[in-house]
Structure 1
């Protein structure tokens, strides 16, 4: 997350110059990129590593499970992210970069619970 948020800030800065409207649009861009790009990666790696840590065989069990639950889990992730977007927007818009990961991780406790439920359901 740190690297992703650093990259977001480099590409579309929310801090520094620019009008308040620009910084708000930049924060919305960060939320969208987080929900679409980072969550897709986190869902995939979460399913794979959970399967491996549970002792499942990679080719025989983990990959078939990934194929079966990835899209439903990603859909649940996008829906949950949409519900939590106002909190993430506030984090990206008003918190310094050093505190964003901490605040988003607090919000992500809800996201992780939903994703775990969907991927193991």
Structure 2
């Protein structure tokens, strides 16, 4: 649904773009709110019957179990990690442990129970 967003910064001293290629990619935690919105909107469209129902994989800025839970509550049935792996190769196991704890703290006994819970009920 979302990938790296194009970004541009300008050096105010040289008055030229910082990157030789002019634009660069914005990814990681900065794009998480955009990615969560995308998941939320697609899940809502599937519930309304506007599009075929398929599993949604949430990705974009996940660095913790709490971030992963946010995607699940928006409608993702699974999540994937990207940028965080550059600095934390152990992130998948840590995020899984944190997600399991976050689910238990909210009295969910399975991930399935949490999927889409941020949406209003009919």
Q: TM-score, normalised by structure 1?
A: 0.31
Give the strand-richer structure, 1 or 2: 2
Give the helix-richer structure, 1 or 2: 1
- Which structure has the greater CA radius of gyration? 2
Q: TM-score, normalised by structure 2?
A: 0.31
- Select the structure with the greater relative contact order (CA < 8 A; seq sep ≥ 6): 1
